[in-house]
Amino acid sequence: MRRKIVAGNWKMNTTPAEGVELLKGVAALKGEVPAGVELIVGVPFTHLCCVKDEAAKAGIAVSAQNCADHESGAYTGEVSARMIASLGAKYVILGHSERREYYGETSRTLNAKMALAYEHGLAPIYCVGEKLDEREANKHFDVVRAQIEEVVFNLTPEQFGKAVIAYEPVWAIGTGKTATAEQAQEIHAFIRQVLAEKFGKEAAEQTPILYGGSCKPSNAAEIFGKADVDGGLIGGASLVAADFVAIAKAF
């Protein structure tokens, strides 16, 4: 049985105090989430310290949304994987399309970030996904394959065993447009097949592949109902505790 995961990506929202309140709201409703569904909150760096105890008490895992591509040193404004791990986070979101698009992240920087994340015991939630013009040109399989081959294929089998993949079509992020459940299933199955080429069928079968992009309580059940969809990476709807929990209840 593959792990089922619902991960929130708070992006650049909430103050630390508001974040703690949001987390408390999720914790209060967590009893409604089916057993075996893992909840993760992806918080800004400034919140890691403040949400740590509340999250641990509630059994909710914490993720950062990025980490530096260097171990330490003169990199003004950066936050290292070591710093993040020292604050109790278990995960780090890497390769989100907003990071690729607005901050110029490439496979080269992502390989460095992945290596540092593993070195410090963080599991990556590695994001892939095509843009609208790429889907329209029927290039989405090639784009996603390249994003996986150039980064995930560099992992050792042991590292790969801890990775979470998130498929997020860029055209569906924050737009209110969701991939249909069939579109999600088609590309999730493709991702699993690509992973199997490198790591074997058994390892690929164990890898959680999350869907992200305008996932909400009203569409989660249909998307999560597909065989190769193992949960979601939730942006906007993760900022409302009741919606986030309702999505997790969709399993």
Applying CB under 6 A, which residues contact ligand PGA?
9, 168, 173-174, 212-215, 233-237
Indicate the residue among 117 and 199 with the shorter CB distance to ligand PGA: 117
Indicate the residue among 198 and 249 with the shorter CB distance to ligand PGA: 249
Catalytic residue among 96, 120, 140, 188: 96
**Which residue's CB comes closest to ligand PGA?**
235
Nearest to 184 by CA among 196, 199, 201, 169: 169
Residue 170: CA atoms inside 13 Å, Cβ hemisphere, count?
20
Indicate the residue among 100 and 120 with the shorter CB distance to ligand PGA: 100
Instruction: Provide the 10 A C-beta neighbour count for residue 77.
Output: 5
Q: At its nearest, how many Å lie between ligand PGA and the CB of residue 212?
A: 4
Q: At its nearest, how many Å lie between ligand PGA and the CB of residue 43?
A: 13
Residue type, 28: A
Q: How far out from the chain centre does Cα 52 lie?
A: 19
* 108/6 Cα distance (integer angstroms): 28
Q: At its nearest, how many Å lie between ligand PGA and the CB of residue 82?
A: 25
Q: At its nearest, how many Å lie between ligand PGA and the CB of residue 153?
A: 23
Residue type, 162: K
Indicate the residue among 123 and 173 with the shorter CB distance to ligand PGA: 173
For CA atoms 14, 17, 20, 26, the dihedral sign is negative
- Annotation says 21 is catalytic: no
Q: At its nearest, how many Å lie between ligand PGA and the CB of residue 107?
A: 19
Catalytic residue among 38, 98, 105, 168: 168
- Annotation says 168 is catalytic: yes
* 219/214 Cα distance (integer angstroms): 9
For residue 191 the two structure tokens come to: 């991702």
Indicate the residue among 45 and 115 with the shorter CB distance to ligand PGA: 45
Tell me the DSSP string of 145-208. Answer: HHHHHTTGGGS-HHHHTT-EEEE--GGGTTTS----HHHHHHHHHHHHHHHHHHH-HHHHHH--
Catalytic residues: 96, 168
